[in-house]
Structure 1
């Protein structure tokens, strides 16, 4: 399972608390491609998924198709990015819909855009 992570899969991973002693299992979104990155090095680039809408970040993307994503409640993709070893991925919950994936792609493009439109 861990070697077949594909872009826009929703997975569960351990997130460390700020004290780095304990970790809590949280959903994350796989951003990197299996063929060109994940399967080559055994790590995946991921974004945080959270329900914390009260502390919005720029470029947050609401997940509209929760059922397909395998999420039980309102959630957003947050551009809090990290890499993680596949061996730490606990489970696959689902996969973003095409429309949710497109909105995440647009958010990533804005993140990388040096000259955003005004």
Structure 2
């Protein structure tokens, strides 16, 4: 089973300052046909609340209903690859306007020509 690009999923996200994890939302960035299904893994970005201290290229999510999140959130480019067996569920998917914003941030992140 693969996950489509821009799906918002619930995953066990480790805390960097302690030996624990908690279910958190994450955004699937990789393409399902090219990577996710063949690898059984997806490349993801952390989703966090807007109240946390900012990072460069934080990308606010404007359509919270589409992604199934209750409070102001943003995509943070703290990237990781996760085995699909660890995904706890799909919450929703980014609206087009938010997917376009994430695309623009990824182009800047990886210094890709637009």
Identify the TM-score tier after normalising by the shorter chain.
Answer: over 0.9
Q: Which has the higher helix share?
A: 1
Residue 53 of structure 1 contacts residue 76 of structure 1 at CA under 8 Å; is this kept in 2? no
When the two chains are superposed, the root-mean-square deviation of aligned CA atoms in Å is 1.5
If the length of structure 2 is used for normalisation, what is the TM-score?
A: 0.93
Q: Larger C-alpha radius of gyration, 1 or 2?
A: 1
User: Separation in 2 of the partners of 1:95 and 1:102?
Assistant: 13
Is 2:79 the counterpart of 1:81?
Answer: yes
Q: How many residues align?
A: 113
Is 2:88 the counterpart of 1:90?
Answer: yes
User: Separation in 1 of the partners of 2:55 and 2:77?
Assistant: 8
Q: What is the DSSP-based 3-state SS (H/G/I as helix, E as strand, rest coil) of the residue aligned with 1:18?
A: coil
2:102 maps to which residue?
A: 104
Q: What is the DSSP-based 3-state SS (H/G/I as helix, E as strand, rest coil) of the residue aligned with 1:35?
A: helix
| Gapped regions of structure 1 (runs ≥ 5) | none
| Gapped regions of structure 2 (runs ≥ 5) | none
If the length of structure 1 is used for normalisation, what is the TM-score?
A: 0.90
